[in-house]
Amino acid sequence: MVATLGLVLASCGDSTSATQSSASGGQESSGGSSGGSGPGPTSTSGVTPTSTDSGSGTVGQTSSTDPTSSTTVDPTTVTSSTTVDPTATTTETTTGGVLPGTSSTGGTTTDGTTTVMGSSSSSGAGDDSTTGPPPKCEPGDGMGMGMVEKSYIWIASENLNDVSKVDTLTLTELARYRTGPAGVESPSRTAVSADGRFVVVNNRQTGRSTMVAANLEDCIDKNGNGMIDTSQNKNNLLAFGADECVIWSITHPFLGQWQHGPRGVTWTPGVWSYEECKYVDPKVWLGYMSNAGGNTVHLVRVDGASGVVEEIIPVPGWNGSGFAPYGAALDPQFRPWFSSLRGEFVRVNTDLNPVTITRYTPPGNVQSYGFTVDRDGNPWFGGNCGPVTVFDVQSQTYINVPGTQNGCWRGVTGDENYLWAANNSPCGFSQIDLDTRTLIKNYVPNPCSTAIGFSIDSEKKVWLVNQGGFAYKFDPENVLGMQKIDVAGSHYVYSDMTGGQVQSVVFPM
């Protein structure tokens, strides 16, 4: 415990080289802040950018009023701060995606090897014609978070090479699944589909992404024995390839080191089917450091049902401290955003044809680490070490939250009213008002070893995962009533472990 905390605190300053996390799951660290201009677009992988539009942004000024105090578990003293004002850059690049020649049943693609663990096919989009009788339903008609019938949080264990499925209603760990065949897969980020039925787990060490079905009805009887062979409890792990709820797995052509493997991952809901009154054909977006050269990142779109890579967006000259895209989230226009480790962040403009990317280089004090996008489409960053920051998309300004400048922040997420940020200096978390962008309160739960990631479940309850083998669940209006659940392993998760982030922008309340 002491050794882990020491590693976290040591990484708060700039270092001169990248350092791999320890066996107990230490924090990743690499050299330098990233200020100044972002990289210009270049031709790579046979794709030639056709237009570039560069602009600049400034840091928005924030109030320095101290947040209101209240009774907490173990609150820290809150102080005010001011916002620095360096210049940030924005670059928009028109970049056509590379569509590999693949089939709907998997096989070898130009983006690596896809192994389909059973036969499956993607659902087609429903009829969205404006002619004929009125549609039965529209997106959002009575469909809030309640569209998820069963709610789970998926917590990856980097040292155990598996992912845990926990029922968020009963706080029961129901099953565990191996995320790959290798001895060291180092699973980290998990992302859950908007309907809660599927999860994708990214493995940093092997460059592998694996998808698991949450419900038995979505699993596949691939050996034809008339039943679904799958994990029955947390101690019952089947061999990789034997669990019939593991639907597909992809090995990406990444650069080869653990820092280059896939991290950031998010789902899109798919296409609205008026006939079925639901979204169908969901997609997964993820990023990794490509072996194509030129410090190039590949942002890829994967068919959610089959695991086939459908589109590759090369991002040359990636500014991310030598790491693959660190976090990912979806905005209300269903556009994926990717962040880096203390560097640039990117929006994938999937609403345009051809798809373009917009690259942003924030000011140097935005030490991006944890990442999310709120219900209004604004990206948030947990600075490590530096302030919690929001990028206001409308004004194109970076706003630092007063009172957070001295923290070493990790995962962040937002619900209807608050932004939640995990902190390692000291161990704990903070509650921030989404609208006023001011700090409400700091909390220090007991125990607290290394607070890692946040996620929001179907009941709109908040989950804080701790790296030391446990998690907390609490009502956002009753933080003191938090409940603790033990989940074995070293947890290194900063992602949408419940699907709550995607649901918050797909079905805003």
Query: Amino acid identity, residue 116?
Result: V
Provide CATH code, domain 2-12+20-506: 2.130.10.10
Has residue 105 got a pLDDT over 60?
Answer: no
- Domain regions of the chain by residue span: 2-12+20-506
Torsion sign across C-alpha atoms 109, 496, 397, 427: negative
Q: Identify the burial level of 369 via C-beta atoms within 10 angstroms of its C-beta, where 0-12 means exposed, 13-18 middle and 19 or more buried.
A: buried
pLDDT single digits (tens) 481-509: 999 999 999 999 999 999 999 999 998 76
If one compares 47 and 455, the residue with the highest pLDDT of the two is 455
Is it the case that residue 396 has pLDDT exceeding 60?
yes
H or E segment and range at residue 10: helix 2-10
pLDDT at residue 32 tops 50: no
Q: What is the tens place of the pLDDT at every residue in 258-305?
A: 999 999 999 999 999 988 888 999 999 999 999 999 999 999 999 999
Residue 453's closest CA among 282, 356, 326? 326
pLDDT value, residue 136: 72
Say which residue, 119 or 353, is predicted with more confidence.
Answer: 353
Q: Would you state the pLDDT for residue 25? A: 38
DSSP 8-class letter at 40: P
- Report residue 155: phi and psi, to 5°: -115, 115
pTM metric for this prediction: 0.81
